[in-house]
Amino acid sequence: MDVHASVTVVLLFILAVLGFVFLFFFVGDLRKNRENMEKETSFFLGSLISFVINFFDVFGIGNFAPGASLYKGLKQTDDRLIPGTLNVACTIPVIAEAFLFIHGVRVEPLTLVSMIVSAMVGAWVGAGFISRLSKEKIQLVMGVAMTLIAFVIIAQVTNLVPVDGTAIGLHGIKLVIAVTGNFFLGAVMTAGVGLYAPCLALVCLLGINVSVAFPIMMGACAYLMPVASIRFIKQNSYNRKLALGGNIFGTIAVILAFRVYLLISGSLPSHALKIIVICVMFYTAISMFYSLYKEEKGRSKHRDIE
* pLDDT for res 161: 64
How confident is the model over 87-136, as pLDDT tens digits? 999 999 999 988 887 766 677 888 888 998 998 888 888 877 766 777 67
Query: Does pLDDT of 48 surpass 60?
Result: yes
* pLDDT for res 247: 96
Work out the pLDDT band at 150, boundaries 50, 70, 90. Answer: confident
Range in 9-13, 35-39, 282-286 the model is least confident about: 282-286
- pTM for this structure? 0.75
Query: Does pLDDT of 293 surpass 70?
Result: yes
Residue 106 is given by DSSP the state -
Q: What is the 3-state secondary structure (H, E, C) of 113-176?
A: HHHHHHHHHHHHHHHHHHCCCCHHHHHHHHHHHHHHHHHHHHHHHCCCCCCCCCECCCCHHHHH
Query: Does pLDDT of 29 surpass 60?
Result: yes
Other Cβ atoms closer than 10 A to 72: 21
Work out the pLDDT band at 273, boundaries 50, 70, 90. Answer: low
Judge whether 306 lies within some domain.
Answer: no
Judge whether 62 lies within some domain.
Answer: yes
Judge whether 171 lies within some domain.
Answer: yes
Nearest to 38 by CA among 247, 245, 289: 245
- Per cent of the chain over pLDDT 70 is 83
Judge whether 31 lies within some domain.
Answer: yes
Judge whether 305 lies within some domain.
Answer: no
Average pLDDT over residues 40-65: 88
* pLDDT for res 114: 92
* pLDDT for res 303: 61
DSSP conformation letters of 262-277? HHHTT-S-HHHHHHHH
* pLDDT for res 62: 75
Work out the pLDDT band at 64, boundaries 50, 70, 90. Answer: confident
* pLDDT for res 192: 66
Domain residues for 40?
A: 3-300
167 phi/psi in degrees, rounded to 5 = -70, 150
Judge whether 250 lies within some domain.
Answer: yes
Domains contained in the chain, number: 1
* pLDDT for res 131: 63
* pLDDT for res 207: 80
Mean pLDDT over all residues of the chain? 82
Judge whether 47 lies within some domain.
Answer: yes
* pLDDT for res 89: 95
Nearest to 236 by CA among 47, 67, 129, 84: 84
Work out the pLDDT band at 268, boundaries 50, 70, 90. Answer: low
Average pLDDT over residues 2-13: 78
Average pLDDT over residues 18-24: 95
Judge whether 56 lies within some domain.
Answer: yes
Quote the CA–CA distance of 83 and 81 in Å, as a whole number: 6
